[in-house]
Structure 1
């Protein structure tokens, strides 16, 4: 374990981005309200802010900093999930899942991905609500394409929770490509390059499904990672390290409504490629620096 949210104890869906001004790594995450008793239904995973923790020592230690402000586009309390942040060298682009209000139930509420920009990761300007394949989309992952432009992968809950894709030439306008990964329902796609291959991880709620691609179009499924207890959920990969969250208190006999079942923590594990397969030993990294302390790393590919 490398981080627990000290306010709500529900850190989930982490994304890593290098803050150029601070020369520090920032972890931005969904701040679930795990330790709030008496909240009806699943409202504890709604009404969430985006929490921020920073590290100046390559990820060995993390300091809670607060939450991102100024994201609302209308009056009221709303829900922010699963941020994705891209640094183009001048501007930070954030794509975040947004739900209006604080629902008490899972179904019946539209989910949209919004685009914001910022010069410093603090002041965010709303740019658009993306028009994608349905009104029930979450969990954006954006990667630079080798030939130019970017591709976004995301979960479409209206299509049995499959991964769809959209392309952009400028990070502002997006055109839907279609279904990217079908099969078993999943969420939280994350795309990266390692060992000369393109990889995607998707969260099947029983571990991370591994998929490999030679062209970022066709995806070949492999086995599961992070499928031993506690199961690893919704990962973000930077370099050769996967940052993911777990529910360490979800043990036999612990009810879904109990705090121990709801609390979550962020972990990190090193990935490697062996004989063309992605493997992971989640015991290899134990509070050791894993990220370069100076300079930023692209969200996809090597050094900037």
Structure 2
């Protein structure tokens, strides 16, 4: 499976969710403007949330445009890294928001905003999450076995570490607490496989894998997607991923910059363009493995 955004060729930060009414898998992602001119890193900003749909269990994906209705103030603004899930009778999106189209990484606030939808098309804004940080990005949510929900996110004000907080109803959140510290990282993602919980974080050299029995104490078990694969678009480390749980199996969706390593100009279109790929995950001797070079046969994502 290989997916390229047909407008800007900059599909990144994917999340894959089942559209329950239509029996389709929907992928929502940051639509980076890899082919757009502009100063500095303006191409990383000004992004919409792209939508692609699969009707054959993940084998092929059809671009359907961008998510509408996210804007809550005038102007061209930036949306990054959606987390989308079904809970409390509707779909929820927690998405990073930046005002305007900055041409630098630094010097501007980020926030995570909460939207809800009945169908993945029409979204209503519930406002920002209050996370005691002006630079919170990259939300990930998991339902707690005891009830309620836990949110993890990257706090760029606090050494780009992962922080977590809880909510009984996805409305009020407890004060965030550090969860994964050490080296800077981003893009936490949490899922269950082989009887325990796993967290992945993006260290920009592959994905660090952590294991937990209780969603509180995490033990690092190693790295995945840190060695490029053999596919034509897989010649890069895997970046900012999402995992779709399917019964006792799990599939990871990650992105690469396939032209980055060979590009003479690291700011060229060839270096910027990105591709979303998928692979199956497995657990061996208590460690997570990614079957990166094993072909996937559709349908590999069942609809029930």
Same fold (TM over 0.5): yes
* Structure-1 residue corresponding to 2:14: 14
* Structure-1 residue corresponding to 2:253: 243
* Structure-2 residue corresponding to 1:3: 3
* Structure-1 residue corresponding to 2:106: 107
Coordinate RMSD, CA, aligned: 1.1
* Structure 1 residue 90: Cα displacement: 2.2
* Structure 1 residue 256: Cα displacement: 1.7
Change (3 A) 1:162 1:278: same
* Structure-1 residue corresponding to 2:226: 227
TM-score (ref. length: structure 2): 0.94
Post-superposition Cα deviations, 1:128-151, rounded to whole Å, max 9, x if no partner, equal 201103110000000000000000
TM-score (ref. length: structure 1): 0.94
* Structure-2 residue corresponding to 1:301: none
Change (3 A) 1:253 1:118: closer
* Structure 1 residue 214: Cα displacement: 1.4
Q: Is the 8 A contact 1:268 1:285 kept in 2?
A: no
Are 1:26 and 2:26 an aligned pair?
Answer: yes
Distance in 2 separating the partners of 1:155 and 1:130: 13
Q: Is the 8 A contact 2:56 2:298 kept in 1?
A: no
Distance in 1 separating the partners of 2:287 and 2:281: 10
Q: Is the 8 A contact 2:263 2:270 kept in 1?
A: no
Q: Is the 8 A contact 2:132 2:176 kept in 1?
A: no
Q: Is the 8 A contact 1:270 1:285 kept in 2?
A: no
* Structure-1 residue corresponding to 2:144: 145
Are 1:78 and 2:88 an aligned pair?
Answer: no
List runs of 5+ in structure 1 lacking aligned partners.
296-304
* Structure-2 residue corresponding to 1:285: 295
**Matches of residues 48-59 of structure 1 in structure 2 within 5 Å?**
48-59=47-58
List runs of 5+ in structure 2 lacking aligned partners.
229-235
Distance in 2 separating the partners of 1:117 and 1:181: 28
Report the count of equivalent residues.
293
Distance in 2 separating the partners of 1:291 and 1:159: 37
* Structure 1 residue 175: Cα displacement: 1.4
* Structure-1 residue corresponding to 2:59: 60
SS state at 2:131 partner: coil
SS state at 1:175 partner: coil
